[in-house]
Amino acid sequence: MKEKDPYTPSQGHRALEAMEMVRTPQLGRTLAYWITGIVFFMFLILFLPWTQNIASRGTLTALDPQDRPQTVQSIIAGSIERWHVQEGQLVQKGDTIVSLSEVKEKYFDPQLLDRLNEQVEAKEGAVEATESKAVALENQIRALREGLRFSLDKGRNKIEQTRLKVQSDSADVVAQRVEVEIALNQYARQEALYKQGLKSLTELEARRLKLQEAQAKLVANENKLASSRAELQNTYTELSSLQAEYGDKLAKAESELSSNRAYLYSTIGETSKLRSEYSSTLERSRFYQVLAPQTGYLVRTLRAGIGENIKEGEAIATIMPDNPRLAVELFVEPMDLPLLYRGAPVRLQFDGWPALVFSGWPNLGFGTFGGKVAVIDNTATNGYYRMLVVQDPEQEEWPEAIRIGSGVQGWAMLNTVPIWYELWRQLNGFPPDYTGTLPVDGANSQKEEKK
């Protein structure tokens, strides 16, 4: 049997049709080119630079504590009499916000200040009278001491005179004894001569008379000496009694002076207490008008109505200071804290402001504003560290319409790394790069903060 030629025209036409059927379609080839191009483009994108950042959510606040919203409190308890402002109104420092009336019965007397002033004046008069009495007692004590000194000098002089008198009387007694002895010897000789018949009886009796006179004079002198000695002893006794008498008078005067001074000090204390009460009452009367502590807007009244009672230290209104220094309050995790420093750049997106954000490419973003870290807390709050971000003067200004309390999204800018590295870090949960050193400004700021 004769074989068919495979290259006959009919069979070749069929072979070409089969090859046409197994050939790759043009659409699939185009799709493969696009996929390859996209994968290659994405591969190239992985090597583009990416700025690492720490994202955080926060609110707008004031940098200075005195610029933050504050409550106006009543120093005293009272009843609301009248409101002088409305919510949203701009009040100047010292403007009256609300007037209060007294609710404590101790201060109900409308003439309380005058009566307290009268009590103070009365106590001051008592103090002056007591001081005068104290001066008189001091003069009396001084006079008693002077009198004691003069009396003692007088007593000592009298003792000296009596002592000299005793010496004189003692000398007279000694002289008289000598005279008696002489008279006795003369009488004995006269009597011997009388017995020999050489003297008459008259002469003997005359000598006996002189002897008796001398003996009588001796007795008188001895009595006088005894009297002088007794007088000297009495003078010593008088001197001792004089000291005791004046000592008793001085003790009584000093005791009275001490009592007077005690009363004086007590009166001075009561006077000071009354003066303090008067000053406190006068100062309290000034608190009947609750004044604005600083210029700002009255945001909200916390108490309303007329005649409503409020307690001491109770807040009655909220004031937002005018023209505060704005700052953004952000919170970061402890793991990211070592990467931050004072002066670190931050990008901010304010709520209500249209923005197109590329956190890794801040230069391509739209509607974000620049800031820098001003304060980093040293202690954590609920597991997060707070930092305050202020406006960067070298970049665009923040919007004027933003207000304290609005939400803010912030990104702290860190190192620039390839995108593939950032993806790898995110997938593994690693923290951003930490070189171990801070910028010079940040280091200096931390040193100043430690100081």
Q: How far apart are CA 207 and CA 219, in angstroms?
A: 18
For 259, list phi and psi in degrees, rounded to 5: -65, -40
Q: Is 446 exposed, middle or buried (0-12, 13-18, 19+ CB in 10 A)?
A: middle
- CA atoms within 13 A of residue 70's CA, in its CB half-sphere: 16
Domains 47-67+324-450 and 70-102+291-321 share a fold: no
Residue 11 is predicted with a pLDDT of: 52
Q: Which amino acid is at 388?
A: L
The residues near 451 (Cβ < 8 Å, ≥ 6 apart) are none
Give the CATH number of domain 70-102+291-321: 2.40.50.100
Q: Which amino acid is at 43?
A: F
CB 297 within 8 A of CB 90: yes
Sheet strands (E) in 336-406: 345-350, 369-376, 385-391
**How would you label 35-49 residue by residue, b for 16+ Cβ within 10 Å and e otherwise?**
eeeeeeeeeeeeeee
pTM for the full model?
0.55
CB 305 within 8 A of CB 87: no
Q: What is the architecture of the domain spanning 112-286?
A: Orthogonal Bundle (1.10)
Residue 411 is predicted with a pLDDT of: 82
Residue 22 is predicted with a pLDDT of: 56
Instruction: Write the DSSP symbol of residue 384.
Output: B
CA distances from 388 to 58, 60, 328, 449 (A): 10, 9, 5, 14
Q: Is 444 left (phi over 0), alpha (psi -120 to 50) or beta?
A: alpha
Handedness of CA 9, 10, 11, 13 (dihedral sign): positive
The residues near 438 (Cβ < 8 Å, ≥ 6 apart) are 341, 446
CATH 3.40.50.920 assigned to 47-67+324-450: no
In the chain, where are the structural domains located? 47-67+324-450, 70-102+291-321, 112-286
Residue 448 is predicted with a pLDDT of: 46
Q: How far apart are CA 414 and CA 56, in angstroms?
A: 14
What's the average pLDDT block by block, 10 residues per block, for the chain (451 residues)? 47 54 66 85 78 83 89 89 89 91 83 85 87 87 84 82 83 82 81 77 80 82 83 82 81 87 87 87 87 90 85 90 90 84 88 69 70 90 90 88 88 77 75 55 45 41
Handedness of CA 51, 53, 57, 62 (dihedral sign): negative
Q: Which tokens go with 145?
A: 């001491």
